[in-house]
Structure 1
Amino acid sequence: MRMAELSERSGITTATIKYYLREGLLRPGRRISATQAEYDEEHLRRLRLVRALIQVGRMPVATAREVLVAVEDESLDRHTRLGAALWALPDGSSGAGGSDADAAHEAAQLRVEDLLERLDWTFARERRDESPAYRMLVRAVAGLSVTGYPCTVEDLLAYARPAAELSVVDLDMVERYEPGSEQVEAAVALTVLYEPVLLSLRRLAETEESNRRFGSGD
């Protein structure tokens, strides 16, 4: 397909596609003349991933490029490749500091360690030093404590167990795609695209439960 068709099918303007090409987020098409190139379904699929990362996930171009490097690393097995791509996603780092924050961080780390042990999430424990998700969880638990809403391990377990069930749904969905780059791309795109779905569903569910408990029945 030509650039115009690629733009029409992807819903991304030709100017943006050219920008992605210049930034190395999209492989060049097959040159058919001095001024024209031809693109295929792989380009279309990659454009959808880039759009998910940058336009939906609000990811900086440099970070998106790191994610794509992990996606394309065919020297890794499927599990490692998926992990490398997902770990390249932004982890919401913040610059909180001070003695109170440091103490809360240490306490949160101990709580998260206890949580992972109770869940028997051995891989998460073994790779915690490399895991952005682990660091994000520790910061979140520390933030709850610092702001006056500390949570217990039991509270965390109540969230972790449904998360484990959701992970099965997530990977079942990923396995609908062809193994290799297509599957890794799908894992990354669906992680980015479904996070707002999960957040919105949680908020809708809370309004329903609040109405059930505290509403007037209107």
Structure 2
Amino acid sequence: MRLAELSERSGVSTSTIKYYLREGLLAPGRQINTTTAEYDEEHLRRLRLIRAMIQVGRVPVATVKEVLGHVDDDSLGRAIRVGAAVWALPQVPEPDEEDEYVQAAHAEVSTLLDRLGWENAKRLSALSPAYRSLVVGVAAFRRLGYSWGAEQLAPYAELMHRTAVLDVDNMEAHPSEAERIEFAVLGAILNEPLLQALHRLAQEEETTRRYGFE
């Protein structure tokens, strides 16, 4: 397809597509002559991913470029590619390691991972933004006087593991390696808000079931 058709099918303006091409977010099309290039379904799929990251996820262009670099790096194994791509997305601020509540939260999260038998997650804890986010959250609860740690989190973690199994099963259903990694990135941007919305709906359902509407 030509640039105009790519624009029409993707919903991205030609000027924006040209910008993505200049920035290296989108691979060049197959050159037909000095002024015309041809694009294919992979360009269309990549454009939709870029659009989701920038417009829905509010991810800066420089970060999108970094994420896509990991997506396209076929020298890495699948787990590393997925991890590197998702870790490059915007994350919570680094916890203050001198804070006593952060230190206590580290101990609770470590206990949680031991209890669950999540050895790989523990091995990656020094690198993982998800681990740091969990520490920040647990520290915030403890700072406010709530005893929220391994015992309370374990049932939630077991539910999340079942969710992760579904995520990976759905990822593996895609035919190409690039599509699988792209799906994982989209999951971090699009699926997490859906899961949050389902969680809140479930809370509404359960609280009204128990206590009514009064």
**Structure 2 segments unaligned to the other structure (5+ residues):** none
What do residues 162-207 of structure 1 show as CA deviations (whole Å, max 9, x unaligned)? 0000001101110111242121111111221101100111111111
Q: Is the 8 A contact 1:31 1:38 kept in 2?
A: yes
Moved more, 125-134 or 143-152: 143-152
Gaps of 5+ in 1: none
> What amino acid sits opposite 2:136 in the alignment?
R
Normalising by structure 2, we get a TM-score of 0.93
- The one of 115, 134, 138 equivalent to 2:135 is 138
The answer as to 2:169 corresponding to 1:175 is no
| CA-based RMSD | 1.8
Correspondences of 1:10-159 after superposition (within 5 Å): 10-93=10-93, 102-159=99-156
Cα distance in structure 1, aligned partners of 2:96 and 2:84: 28
Q: Of the two structures, which has the highest relative contact order with CA contacts closer than 8 Å and spacing of 6 or more?
A: 1
Letter in 2 for 1:173: N
- Which residue does the alignment assign to 1:4? 4
TM-score with structure 1 setting the length: 0.91
Residues 117-126 or 7-16, more deviating: 7-16
Q: Secondary structure at the match of 1:33?
A: coil
How far the C-alpha of 1:34 sits from its partner, in A, is: 2.5
Alpha-carbon distance in structure 1 between the residues aligned to 2:181 and 2:13: 25
Deviations along 1:23-42, whole A, 9 cap, x unmatched?
21111112223322111111
Kindly indicate whether the alpha-carbon contact (under 8 Å) linking 1:141 and 1:150 is maintained by their aligned counterparts in 2: no
Report the residue type matching 1:32 in the other structure.
I
- Figure out how many residues of one structure are paired with residues of the other and give that number: 214
